């Protein structure tokens, strides 16, 4: 029997490339997205089922899983790719905006995992791949909402990986760096009206790309290949970093003292 993967956020970017790659490698693909009526490619491919799914809508999650199993017989892997980034000075981000960031990036991801776990437990196998970011380990200025959500994904995934290991279920985290995908178009910036922040905001955004300008960035195809590797390599490896810029920031944090790391980030972006 062919294996089946369920991919969230498959309408664009990493999610779309991941759906394509799994299908090319002989998998059945449940390509889920909020607006499948706009899809013109994936729904024409054999062994791909495009499903309407919003990770903040429990009914759509449950329906996609039940109909996907009815169509393909089982689900063997879940790729949680849906998400977006909210940026701006924390003091200017109100509670509803911060809550929505967590509803999509954290609680939506958790509910996807919760919904698929009974399937994986029954078959005593399954792989969960949660798409994080180097921003799940390194928090840059004006990313309080996004970084907090990705740090939460990292902690949740790491703890869950130990919890599910005795059940034959594997959890993986993929941490891309900067990628020219639709994610940039889905970024939300909250402008600040507080003058005290203006010089720091201006400094950060004018210098944000400078520290890693010389480094190779991963393409969305390379990220998809990393996701496929994580799903199929049979290893207990937890984290997969992709992109030299992602590795740069992670090394900055873990290969020097905490004081040196904090100083470096502030020299890059704030001072």
Q: Which residues are catalytic?
A: 132, 146, 150
Would you say how long the chain is, in residues? 271
CA distance 43 to 46: 8
**Residue-by-residue DSSP string for 1-44:** ---EEEESSTTSHHHHHHHHHHHHTT-EEEEEES-GGG--SGGG
Residues 6+ apart with CB under 8 A from 223: 14, 17, 18, 174, 176, 179, 242, 243
CA 224 centroid distance within chain: 12
Angle between helices 13-24 and 220-232 (to 10 degrees): 50
CA distance 257 to 236: 28
Of residues 156, 137, 158, the one with CA closest to residue 147: 137
* DSSP 3-state of 259: helix
CA distance 131 to 152: 12
Of residues 186, 207, 5, the one with CA closest to residue 87: 186
CA distance 139 to 3: 36
Of residues 97, 106, 116, the one with CA closest to residue 155: 106
């Amino acid at each position: 029997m062919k294996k089946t993967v369920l991919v969230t956020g498959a309408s664009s970017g990493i999610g779309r490339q991941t759906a394509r790659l799994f299908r090319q490698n002989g998998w059945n693909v449940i390509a889920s997205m909020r607006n499948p009526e706009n899809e013109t490619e994936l729904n024409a491919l054999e062994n791909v089922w495009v499903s309407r799914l919003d990770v903040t809508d429990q009914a759509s999650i449950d329906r996609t899983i039940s109909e996907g199993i009815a169509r393909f017989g089982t689900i063997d892997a879940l790729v949680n790719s849906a998400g977006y980034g909210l940026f701006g000075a924390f003091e200017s981000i109100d509670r509803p905006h911060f809550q929505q960031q967590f509803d999509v990036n954290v609680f939506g991801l958790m509910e996807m995992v919760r919904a698929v776990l009974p399937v994986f437990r029954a078959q005593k196998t399954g792989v969960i791949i949660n798409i994080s970011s180097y921003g799940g380990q390194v928090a840059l200025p004006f990313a309080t909402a996004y970084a907090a959500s990705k740090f939460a994904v990292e902690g949740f995934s790491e703890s869950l990986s130990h919890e599910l290991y005795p059940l034959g279920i594997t959890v993986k985290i993929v941490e891309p760096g900067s990628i020219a995908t639709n994610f940039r178009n889905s970024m939300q910036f909250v402008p600040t009206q507080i003058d005290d922040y203006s010089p720091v905001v201006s400094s950060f955004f004018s210098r944000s790309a400078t520290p890693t300008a010389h480094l190779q960035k991963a393409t969305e195809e390379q990220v998809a290949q990393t996701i496929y590797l994580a799903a199929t390599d049979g290893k207990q490896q937890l984290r997969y970093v992709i992109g030299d810029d992602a590795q740069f920031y992670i090394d900055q944090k873990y290969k020097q003292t905490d004081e040196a790391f904090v100083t470096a980030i502030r020299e890059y972006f704030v001072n």
